[in-house]
Amino acid sequence: MKNKEFKKILIIKFRNIGDVLLTTPLIDNLKINYPKAQIDMAVNKGTEDMVTLNPNLSKIHIYNRNYVKSLPLLKKIKEEIKFINKIKKENYDLVINLTKGDRGAIIALFSQAKEKVGFKENFLSNLAFTKSLPLTQGIKHQIEWDLDALRVLGGDIKHKKVSIYWDEKDSKKIYGLKLPENFIHFHPVSRWLFKCIDDKISANIIDFIENNLGTKVVITAAPIEKEIKKIENILSLTKSSPINLAGELTLKQTAALNKKAKFFVGVDTAIMHISAANNIPIVAFFGPSGAFHWGPWDNNLMKSGYNFKNGFQTMGKHKVIQVKWDCAPCGKDGCNGSKISECLMEKGLDIEFIKKEIKEMNESTSYRMV
């Protein structure tokens, strides 16, 4: 039972793109519990597209982490103080910091909010936060981690739906591409290349979908050189002609494109979470990370289906393919610091099993009218 009302709430999430998107169930449930409150958010620059246009958010404070990091010490301190003062002037009465680390704790401490929720892990955070988030979680999804903030406040959780929004310009951009009426969205890359599957396997998947299933593949990737080069190498190994949009779309436009797909195939990355937010069925490949923590969330469900450490798992309409090795998930950047995860190479992935799961999803998924 809630024991307080709040007028202005700040959520701090200084993490990556997918992490920010997965906070949207918390945003929605905070609005349900505190309908009169203004809810704002503080995020790293480059992640804001995951929450812009969200009707339950009023303001987004963008922290330019890379810029601040590049500054000499004195200028860096000046920029940090400037950002803290910006938050302080807002007069928030509730601050929720969803990540461990000192920056969020310092901002919460100097915000002068009466209620501050976060991880109490050291002297500073013990001083900063009035309510503590659980430090250890075991097999528990990130969405549940974030919703713990509402639980410690005594709030009710009405749903656990991930949501993303884009505008008409983004929709028009995708409409202008004149894509096939039905296609499968394939995103085989991540900014962390150790999360990527073997290029030969990617090429094999593309050819199987196009030549055997008779459905067009649309490929996306971020406008980053290493991702573009990886796509180029994959395409050099294919015998089919997929539509390559690598590097051509923004995050919002990629979300708009994904919404029109029959289903999604790809690695553990933000685009996978965007697909889940769009309620598009997913076949995802997991290596160093655990599906129990990061698996694609089925918006129709209230409980995670990822109950095991590794192996093949499902949650509603979504499928996660992962080896059943003792070392998986390892949380490392590849095997022995190589930046290559053997569990995502031919040694670990069974291409025939992958084809079987993709074929089954293709048969069980209704065509989407665009």
- Three-class SS string for the chain? CCCCCCCEEEEEECCCHHHHHCCHHHHHHHHHHCCCCEEEEEEECCCHHHCCCCCCCCEEEEECHHHHHHCCHHHHHHHHHHHHHHHHCCCCCEEEECCCCHHHHHHHHHHCCCEEEECCCCHHHHHHCCEECCCCCCCCCHHHHHHHHHHHCCCCCCCCCCCCCCCHHHHHHHHCCCCCCCEEEEECCCCCHHHCCCHHHHHHHHHHHHHHCCCEEEECCCCCHHHHHHHHHHHHCCCCCCEECCCCCCHHHHHHHHCCCCCEEEECCHHHHHHHHCCCCEEEECCCCCHHHHCCCCCCCCCCCCCCCCCCEEECCEEEECCCCCCCCCCCCCHHHCCCCHHHCCCCCCHHHHHHHHHHHHHHCCCCCC
Average pLDDT, 10 consecutive residues per value, the chain (370 residues): 81 97 98 97 97 98 93 93 96 96 94 96 94 86 97 96 98 96 96 95 98 97 96 98 97 98 97 98 97 97 96 98 96 91 95 97 71
pLDDT at 4: 78
pLDDT at 369: 42
**What's 8-152's CATH class?**
alpha beta
pLDDT at 136: 75
CATH superfamily of the 168-364 domain = Glycogen Phosphorylase B; (3.40.50.2000)
The domain ranges of the chain are 8-152, 168-364
pLDDT at 337: 84
pLDDT at 1: 47
pLDDT at 370: 42
